[in-house]
């Protein structure tokens, strides 16, 4: 082996003390200037309807202090650490690679095991009453978004078509279910596939004109279609009941046994005291089954020619056509299958809420789902699941940040800062992991040895 050029024994990087202090001072001043009008001053209306100016010095100085502390941490800890990392000769650590390999091998079974026993775990830890929140607000809510993320992942992550109006299919699924249940009295399990088929149909219908467009144009037009669907739901009052929405949507039953307090109800039938958590747990397992089905189907699709054609389309559309692939049909199938999963999720959503209105299908939903897919790492199903847990679970958890009141006084409402923290998290992930949480691609088929493909080689698709 060739001798390495000799390097100094200790770290060569030296912290410049003055520089660090100066940086911190400048950052503090900028923060003070910015936050003074934003945080330091606040207008409130008093009883006589007059605007009065209120000052919030403690909060302002806490924020500025945080900025200064951040700057100091950057100068004294992060920068030296990065310099040290740079200096260190880059030998791929076999131990780390081994660990990552083992981790990935056991992660999926462990994760599935965990979500399978999650309701029991929460019953055990939080009791009957506390579990309603943990199963419904966290479990079910997150799983709905995992399902939506997996559906959109087919369109955006695999086929590389940026669809900003995915909520349209969610809405179609929800309204199909609500209206068919209302007028024909069909049950949840009959209507679930029907709602999926209707959403697929709409996917094809919308996809046909839209998929001629590419890149940014496709994104804008899908966004518009999402809004159009919502406006139709608002304005087609005779059918959709407009803003008022549809209520009294039948809930899923346990093989015909409803979850209510009546004598025919679930609790009475099984001779246990009635509690709302029974329904929550039942719904949890329905959506879990739907999520697992979606994941399984996607895994299979990726190994079929259609899945490979989607990914090839994302990589290079012209090359696809030179190989005899009908790119219009291929895009359309991605759109339609994505729409189908959105429709399933929508009808589940309607059945869970018992009430739907156009409010639930705004652009904000589409943006959240796209963010989940992008954050997860385009095309990675595990990434999508982790991102949904982080994003939806994270925003829900922030409701629980009551301890911050101790820091900022009693009227401090942590939920108001949800979006701020959320945005910060997104920015940080995009800086550190620009390819999303799972930045590598797994090949769909191997000849000799499975190797993950670096995200830098994988294209994102241009529509």
Partner 1 sequence: MTATAQALLEVEHLTMRFGGLIAVGELTFTAYRSEITALIGPNGAGKTTVFNCITGFYKPTEGRIGLVHGSESLWDELDTLTAYGNRKLARADGTLFLLERMPDYLVAQDARVARTFQNIRLFSGMTVLENLLVAQHNPLMLASGYTLLGVLGLGGYARSERAAIDKARHWIERIGLADRADDPAGALPYGAQRRLEIARAMCTDPVLLCLDEPAAGLNPRESAELNALILSIRDESTTSVLLIEHDMSVVMEISDHVVVLDYGVKIADGPPEMVRNDQKVIAAYLGVADEEVAAAEAEVGL
Residues interacting with partner 1, by CB under 8 A? Answer: 297, 300-301, 304-306, 308-309, 311-312, 315-316, 318-327, 333, 441, 443-451, 453-454, 457-459
Question: Which is closer to partner 1, CB of 130 or CB of 305?
Answer: 305
Beta bridge partners of 247: 355
Cβ atoms 50, 98 nearer than 8 A: no
Distance in angstroms (rounded) separating the CA atoms of residues 410 and 102? 47
- List strand residue ranges (DSSP E) for 320-360, in order: 355-356
d(C-alpha 369, C-alpha 273), whole Å: 38
Q: How far apart are CB 327 and partner 1 at their closest, in Å?
A: 7
CB of 310 to partner 1, least distance (A): 10
- Give the Cα-Cα-Cα angle 45, 50, 56 (nearest 5 degrees): 50
Supply the minimum distance, in Å, between the C-beta of residue 187 and partner 1: 25
Q: Which residue number, 227 or 317, has a Cβ lying nearer to partner 1? A: 317
Question: CB 298 → partner 1: shortest distance, Å?
Answer: 10
Residues 403, 383 contacting (CB under 8 angstroms): no
Nearest distance in Å: CB 112, partner 1? 21
Comparison of 96 and 448: residue with beta carbon closer to partner 1: 448
Report CA-CA distances (Å) from 393 to 45, 298, 304, 378, 431. Answer: 35, 24, 33, 20, 22
Residue 23 or 316: which CB sits closer to partner 1? Answer: 316
d(CA 95, CA 109): 22
In the complex, least distance from residue 153 CB atom to partner 1, rounded to whole angstroms: 16
Closest distance of CB 304 from partner 1, Å: 5
Nearer to partner 1, 227 or 311 (CB): 311
Q: How far is the CB of 406 from partner 1 (least distance, A)?
A: 49
Encode burial over 65-76: b for 16+ CB neighbours within 10 A, e otherwise: eebbeebbeebe
Question: Which CB atom, from 82 or from 303, has the smaller least distance to partner 1?
Answer: 303
| Smallest gap from residue 388 Cβ to partner 1 (A) | 24
288 Cα distance to chain centroid? 16
| Separation between Cα atoms, residue 320 and residue 313, nearest integer Å | 6
Q: d(Cα 47, Cα 18) in Å, to the nearest integer?
A: 51
Q: How far apart are CA 376 and CA 396, in angstroms?
A: 18
Phi, psi of 221 (to 5 degrees): -70, -35
Query: How far are the Cα atoms of 187, 252, 258, 266, 282 from residue 255, in angstroms, in the given order?
Result: 10, 9, 8, 10, 11
Phi-psi bin for 125: left (phi > 0), alpha (psi -120 to 50), beta? Answer: alpha
Locate 451 and state its tokens: 């190797």
Contact 165, 222 (CB under 8 A): yes
**Is 172 or 378 the residue whose CB approaches partner 1 more closely?**
378
Q: What is the signed CA dihedral for 340, 344, 346, 348, rounded to 10 degrees?
A: 180
Contact 457, 208 (CB under 8 A): no
Report in angstroms how near the CB of residue 99 gets to partner 1 at its nearest.
22
Nearer residue to partner 1 within complex by CB, 62 or 327: 327
In the numeric block, the tokens 């979500």 are attached to 115
Q: Do residues 264 and 392 lie in contact, with contact meaning Cβ atoms separated by under 8 Å? A: no
Nearer to partner 1, 56 or 435 (CB): 435
CB of 51 or CB of 457, closer to partner 1: 457
Q: Which is nearer to partner 1, 306 or 371 (CB)?
A: 306
User: Minimum Å distance from CB 459 to partner 1?
Assistant: 6
């Amino acid at each position: 082996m060739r001798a390495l050029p000799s390097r100094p024994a200790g770290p060569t990087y030296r912290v410049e003390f003055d520089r660090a202090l100066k940086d911190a001072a400048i950052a503090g001043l900028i923060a003070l200037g910015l936050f003074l009008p934003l945080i330091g001053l606040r207008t409130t209306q008093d009883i006589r309807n007059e605007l009065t100016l209120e000052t919030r010095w403690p909060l302002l100085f806490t924020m500025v202090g945080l900025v200064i502390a951040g700057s100091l941490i950057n100068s004294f800890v992060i920068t030296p650490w990065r310099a040290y990392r740079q200096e260190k000769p880059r030998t791929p650590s076999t131990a780390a690679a081994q660990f990552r390999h083992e981790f990935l091998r056991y992660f999926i079974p462990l994760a599935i095991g965990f979500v399978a026993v999650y309701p029991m775990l929460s019953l055990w830890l939080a009791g009957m009453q506390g579990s309603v929140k943990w199963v419904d607000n966290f479990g079910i809510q997150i799983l709905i978004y995992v399902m939506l993320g997996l559906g959109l992942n087919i369109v955006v992550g695999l086929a590389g078509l940026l669809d900003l109006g995915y909520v349209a299919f969610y809405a179609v699924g929800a309204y199909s279910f609500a209206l068919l249940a209302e007028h024909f009295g069909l049950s949840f399990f009959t209507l679930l596939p029907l709602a999926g088929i209707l959403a697929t149909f709409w996917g094809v219908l919308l996809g046909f004109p839209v998929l001629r467009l590419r890149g940014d144009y496709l994104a804008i037009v899908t966004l518009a279609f999402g809004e159009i669907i919502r406006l139709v739901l608002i304005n087609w009052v005779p059918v959709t009941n407009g803003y008022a929405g549809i209520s009294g949507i039948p809930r899923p039953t346990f093989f015909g046994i409803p979850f209510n307090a009546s004598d025919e109800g679930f609790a009475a039938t099984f001779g246990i005291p009635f509690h709302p958590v029974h329904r929550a747990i039942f719904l949890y397992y329905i959506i879990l089954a739907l999520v697992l089905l979606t994941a399984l189907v996607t895994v299979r699709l990726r190994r079929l020619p259609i899945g490979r054609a989607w990914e090839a389309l994302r990589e290079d559309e012209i090359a696809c056509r030179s190989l005899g692939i009908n790119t219009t049909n291929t895009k359309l199938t991605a759109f339609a299958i994505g729409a189908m999963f959105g429709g399933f999720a929508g009808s589940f959503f309607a059945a869970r809420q018992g009430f739907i209105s156009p409010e639930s299908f705004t652009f904000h939903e589409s943006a959240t789902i796209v963010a989940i897919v992008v954050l997860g790492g385009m095309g990675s199903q595990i990434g999508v699941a982790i991102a949904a847990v982080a994003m939806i679970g994270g925003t829900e958890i922030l409701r629980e940040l009551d301890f911050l009141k101790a820091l900022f006084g009693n009227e401090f409402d942590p939920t108001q800062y949800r979006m701020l923290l959320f945005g910060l998290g997104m920015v940080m992930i995009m800086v550190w992991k620009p390819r999303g949480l799972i930045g590598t691609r797994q090949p769909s088929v191997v000849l000799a040895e499975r190797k993950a493909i670096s995200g830098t080689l994988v294209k994102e698709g241009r529509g």
